[in-house]
């Protein structure tokens, strides 16, 4: 196994991840019924998002928080949704790649997920 080196690698990662995410019992419905995704449009956006993070490509124009605020409004997020998203992401990365860039996409997903949950008011662990 090797590290994530280019956009072709990112495409493989992203396609494998969303293939699993859409079939997932906890979060699949977000992609299929909450927002029925147009994958031909969505996949390049997600690749540009990660390409921005790993290769500083300047391609992704932003607005992801707004998209997830809308999702949260349509079907309220809970911490278990983020836990599953991250588990699937980490698992998919580990299945396909190994190295500093692979670690970076796992680390960044985690920190973004924490920020997202804070902004959306998905509180963790309190009663
Ligand atoms: C509970 C966890 C999550 C679910 C169920 C989820 C689901 C979705 C869905 C359905 C969309 C499409 C929204 C639309 O087009 O209106 C979307 C967009 C997106 N998501 Fe997530 N997401 C989650 C967490 C995350 C995390 C943690 C990240 C990043 C690390 C992320 C990155 C993105 C990006 C970059 C987009 C594209 C935004 C754009 O169109 O500009 N998501 N997500």
Where along the chain do its domains lie? 7-120
- Contact between residue 85 and residue 113 where contact means Cβ atoms under 8 Å apart: yes
Task: Count the residues in the chain.
Answer: 127
Tell me the pLDDT tens digit for each residue of 65-108.
Answer: 999 999 999 999 999 999 999 999 999 999 999 999 999 999 99
Residue in the structure block whose two tokens are 């997903």:
109
Give nearest CA residue, ligand 1 atom 33: 64
CA atoms within 13 Å, Cβ hemisphere of 67: 11
Evaluate the CA torsion angle 15, 79, 52, 44 in order and state its sign: positive
Predicted model pTM: 0.96
* Residue to probe by mutation, ligand 1, list 31, 62, 67, 122, most atoms within 8 Å of CB: 67
- Domain at 7-120, CATH from 3.50.30.20, 1.10.490.10, 3.30.420.40, 1.10.10.10: 1.10.490.10
pLDDT of residue 123: 74
Tokens of 50: 């990660």
Tell me the pLDDT tens digit for each residue of 16-57.
Answer: 999 999 999 999 999 999 999 999 999 999 999 999 999 999
Q: Which atom of ligand 1 is nearest to the CA of 77?
A: 1
Determine if ligand 1 sits within 6 Å of the CB of residue 71. Answer: yes
């Amino acid at each position: 196994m090797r590290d994530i080196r280019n956009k072709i690698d990112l495409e493989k990662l992203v396609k494998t991840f969303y293939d699993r995410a859409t079939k997932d019992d906890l979060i699949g419905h977000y992609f299929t019924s909450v927002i029925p995704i147009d994958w031909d449009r969505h996949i390049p956006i997600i690749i540009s998002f990660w390409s921005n993070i790993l290769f500083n490509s300047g391609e992704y124009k932003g607005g992801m928080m707004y998209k997830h605020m809308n999702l949260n409004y349509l079907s309220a997020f809970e911490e278990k949704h983020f836990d599953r998203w991250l588990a699937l992401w980490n698992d998919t990365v580990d299945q396909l790649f190994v190295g500093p860039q692979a670690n970076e996409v796992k680390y960044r997903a985690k920190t973004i997920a924490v920020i997202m949950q804070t902004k959306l008011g998905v509180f963790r662990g309190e009663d």
